[in-house]
Amino acid sequence: MSLFWKPGAEKPQLLDDEEGGVLFFSSSLSSSSSYGYASLEKQRQRLPVYKYRNSILYLVETHSTSIIVGETGSGKTTQIPRYLKEAGWAEGGRVIACTQPRRLAVQAVASRVAEEMGVKLGDEVGYTIRFEDLTNSELTRVKFLTDGVLLREMMTDPLLSKYSVIMVDEAHERSISTDILLGLLKKIQRRRPELRLIIASATIEAKSMAAFFDTSKKRRGSEDKQHGLKTEPAILSVEGRGYNVQVFYAEEPVPDYLRAAVSTVMSIHNQEPPGDILVFLTGQDDIDAAVELLTEEAQNNGKSSPGLTILPLYSGLSRADQDLVFSPTPRGKRKVVLSTNIAETSLTLEGVVYVVDSGFSKQRFYNPITDVENLIVAPISKASARQRAGRAGRVRPGKCYRLYTEEYYLKEMSTEGIPEIQRTSLVSSVIQLKALGIDNILGFDWPASPSPEAMIRALEVLYSLGVVDDDAKLTSPAGFQIAEIPLDPMISKMILASNELGCSEEILTIAAVLSIQSIWVSSRGSQKELDEAKMRFAAAEGDHVTFLNVYKGFLKCNKSPTWCHKNFVNYQAMKKVIEIREQLRRTAQRIGIILKSCDGDTQVVRKAVTAGYFANACRLEAFSHSGMYKTLRGSQEVYIHPSSILFRVNPKWILFHSLVSTDRQYMRNVITIDPAWLIEAAPHFYRHRQPDSFHQ
Ligand SMILES: Nc1ncnc2c1ncn2[C@@H]1O[C@H](COP(=O)(O)OP(=O)(O)OP(=O)(O)O)[C@@H](O)[C@H]1O
């Protein structure tokens, strides 16, 4: 497939280059540590935010809340926490926090800041993400963390008393945790007026965010008398961005973004000067397929051009494999990183000069009427497109190839994405708020209100899970235990139930496998070969039990990559399963779960899964020869996904883990159940069902 490119009409903005920036960074294919202290210092001074240092510090000194808007790469994340530290905000044992929506960004930014400050990561500068804490309670003064982790910290310290300043970064992403955090921080400020907030973002609607935090209208004056602080938020716009990124658009709409991405990478490789390439695709399946295609193309490409190192990047990869992406590219090689949107914000991949943007990402959409949450490949917003382009041009000028037309970008792409809170199930959020003692969920002050239907649905599911009682308060001990496990409450409930049913070892394995996208290699060989490989592990009870067989096989062969290759099992994914399972095991033990195996009794395993996922139960339509199921609660039409072991088997009663939408709604990861277990697990949830609907 060959594509034609058109340069974008938008004028690129250049930073002043008197310092000889391009020259200065010309060796940037090597690792950052080779720069040495002086050059790191020069790099810092060159960032647009540097000129605003004093203004930022003045605003933070005089205002409760400051909103800082600056283009991607202007230096907000790496510099502002350090300015605050230098200005004394971490004195007297206080800590400066900076939150990020994504784990990978937290780790990357914390290492960069530690390196710039010349300190060991984990001492003065540290980070905390779920299941990983690299901070020192005595030493850490600047702490990077996910917004989800900060929410969890509120459970033990509701006023976040150790923090002097909290910077909520990448607020434009409007992740569900960011929105909840903003609502709670506003509450905390009423009790702790001295707490300073910084809301930092690339493209935030600063005015609406300022209106949200403006408490001055409710009070008589706009000053907090005791602290002499202005309660009306300040807005500061940091002008200027990193290096020039030249944007190119496809001349014609692209029919297949995956093939187009592969062919664009190959033309860059064949025609453009050295520099790594970052490609944005939607998920593990796309990425695995692109890795295969690209490997083939590169092999056919002949020996004249230097080799490509092709690396995937998604959250389901093990830590060691994610680290490969950050390692320096060997001389004479070109790295191609194929990523989901986890690389979209905050990350600097040093060698990246070219970005290829498919224009799509996987997004969650929840329909409270049918009670169904879907992962859909959907177009991204202009804000995301700008962030993606911004991954080039961070250490020197770059180019971004958008696999869509300029007309589409200008006229059809939405400016901002829909806040996550308005398009996901609220079950996890509601339990978190409850655990923090916020009982009036409907009256909570949200930056963007979720729909009341979604809220009511969430309360109903939590009631049925036994997490909240008749008064919508957390139950004891189950509700508190579930709130303590940092996972989706349905998975947490499944783990609690496994304790009673004596199958916690098996359920921990299942929980770990379910938290990654797929353990199968789907892009190699023919469908027939893959199906045959799967049949070696197949269990009539469905995918969850099949996973147990694969896991057992993987351990038995001593975690051998060759075994994985032979069996079409994704080795990287299995390494991640082992990592997650270990983390889950520790959490489970902490909340008092006894590790026990049921020694192959699949009935108890399926009962435990039902205890968590009863809301996703379906029944095969009697008249249907096409394998059509309907969800018991919403009567939504759904089908078993071809990747499931139960595809075409079509048992009468099943439940699924998640749904994906393409031409139809497909259920991924399916298990057979006995309908009687549903009434046992959730009598309230199914109370309106006719008794005969549960007949076998
Ligand atoms: N790991 C790194 N290696 C090399 N340079 C880096 C690294 N991290 C940051 N930088 C440099 O610092 C600049 C500013 O990064 P920073 O993350 O602070 O920007 P930002 O304004 O927060 O942008 P974004 O919103 O995209 O994260 C980058 O453009 C890059 O030049």
Give yes or no for residue 303 having a pLDDT over 60: no
Verify whether ligand 1 is closer than 6 Å to residue 202 (CB atom): yes
Can you tell me which atom of ligand 1 is nearest the CA of 201? 25
pLDDT value of residue 624? 62
Q: What is the mean pLDDT of residues 31-51?
A: 68
Higher pLDDT pick, 16 / 604: 604
Top pLDDT among 25 and 581 is at 581
Q: Is 394's C-beta closer than 6 angstroms to any atom of ligand 1?
A: yes
Task: Look at residue 562 in the predicted model and tell me its pLDDT.
Answer: 94
- Name the CA radius of gyration of the chain, rounded: 26
Q: Which of 380, 388, 396, 379 is nearest to 278 (CA)?
A: 388
The mean pLDDT of 513-533, rounded to a whole number, is 79
102 lines ligand 1 (CB under 6 A): no
Residues 6+ apart with CB under 8 A from 599: none
Instruction: Give the predicted TM-score (pTM) of the model.
Output: 0.82
Q: What pLDDT score was predicted for residue 132? A: 84
What is the spatial distance between Cα 411 and Cα 406, in angstroms, rounded to a whole number? 8
Residue 206 has pLDDT above 90, yes or no: no
Tell whether the model's pLDDT for residue 16 goes beyond 50.
Answer: no
Ligand 1 atom closest to Cα of residue 74: 21
| Terminal alpha carbon distance of the chain | 52
Q: Give backbone dihedrals phi and psi of 686, rounded to 5 degrees, phi first.
A: -105, 20
Which of 29-38, 68-77, 179-188, 540-549 is predicted most confidently? 540-549
More confidently predicted of 217 and 483: 483
Higher pLDDT, 119 or 528: 119
What's 157-223 look like in SS3? Answer: CCCCCCEEEEEECCHHHCCHHHHHHHHHHHHHHHHCCCCEEEEEECCCCHHHHHHHHCCCCCCCCCE
DSSP 485-505: SSS-HHHHHHHHHHHHHT-HH
520 has pLDDT over 50: yes
Side-chain-facing half-sphere of 617: CA atoms under 13 Å: 27
Region of poorest pLDDT, from 69-83, 251-265, 620-634? 620-634
Question: 559 alpha carbon to ligand 1 midpoint, in Å?
Answer: 37
Pocket test for ligand 1, best of 78, 198, 241, 400 (most atoms within 8 A of CB): 78
Give the pair of three-digit tokens for residue 214: 């403006």
Residue 24 has pLDDT above 90, yes or no: no
Mean pLDDT of 358-363: 93
Residue of higher predicted confidence among 267 and 317: 267
Residue 35: pLDDT above 50?
Answer: no
Residue 199 has pLDDT above 70, yes or no: yes
Instruction: Name which residue leads in pLDDT, 345 or 631.
Output: 631
The more confident residue out of 534 and 694 is 534
Question: How many angstroms does the Cα of residue 316 sit away from the middle of ligand 1?
Answer: 24
- The pLDDT-based confidence of 204 (bands split at 50, 70, 90) is low
Q: What one-character DSSP code corresponds to residue 474?
A: B
- Three-class SS of residue 432? helix
Domains of the chain: 14-238 (3.40.50.300), 245-420 (3.40.50.300)
Percent of the chain with pLDDT over 90: 49
**Which residues sit opposite 196 in a β-bridge?**
165
> How far apart (Å, rounded) are the C-alpha atoms in residues 503 and 568?
27
State the DSSP string of 33-75.
GGGHHHHHHHHHHHSGGGGGHHHHHHHHHHBSEEEEEE-TTSS
Question: Does residue 326 have a pLDDT over 50?
Answer: yes
Verify whether ligand 1 is closer than 6 Å to residue 112 (CB atom): yes
Q: Is the pLDDT of residue 13 over 50?
A: no
Q: At what angle do helices 504-514 and 543-556 cross, to 10 degrees?
A: 100
CA 45 from centre of chain: 31
Q: Does residue 202 register a pLDDT over 90?
A: no
CA 32/CA 108 separation, integer angstroms: 12
Tell me what the mean pLDDT of segment 124-145 comes to.
94
pLDDT for position 87: 96
How far is it, in rounded angstroms, from Cα 657 to Cα 564? 24
Query: What does the pLDDT read at residue 31?
Result: 33
Is any ligand 1 atom within 6 A of the Cβ of residue 76?
yes
Core vs surface per residue 450-489: b (16+ CB within 10 A) or e: beeebbebbbbbbbbbbbbeeeeebbeebbebbbebbbbb
- Token code pair at residue 142: 């600047």
Higher-pLDDT residue of 572 and 623 is 572
Contacts of 689 (CB under 8 A, 6+ apart): 632
Instruction: Determine the Cα–Cα distance for residues 670 and 655; give it in Å rounded to an integer.
Output: 6
- For the chain, the residue count is 696
**Is the CB of 384 within 6 Å of ligand 1?**
no
- pLDDT tens digits for range 212-222: 887 665 554 55
Closest by alpha carbon to 392, among 264, 202, 244?
Answer: 244
Model ipTM? 0.95
Average pLDDT on 371-379 reads: 81
Residue 561: what are its φ and ψ, rounded to 5°?
A: -65, -35
CB 405 within 8 A of CB 250: yes
Q: Read off the pLDDT of residues 440-470 as tens digits, 9 standing for 90 and up.
A: 887 888 888 888 888 888 888 888 888 998 8
With a 6 Å cutoff on the Cβ, whether 72 touches ligand 1 is: yes
- Residue in 15, 34, 53, 77 to alter for ligand 1 test, most ligand atoms within 8 A of Cβ: 77
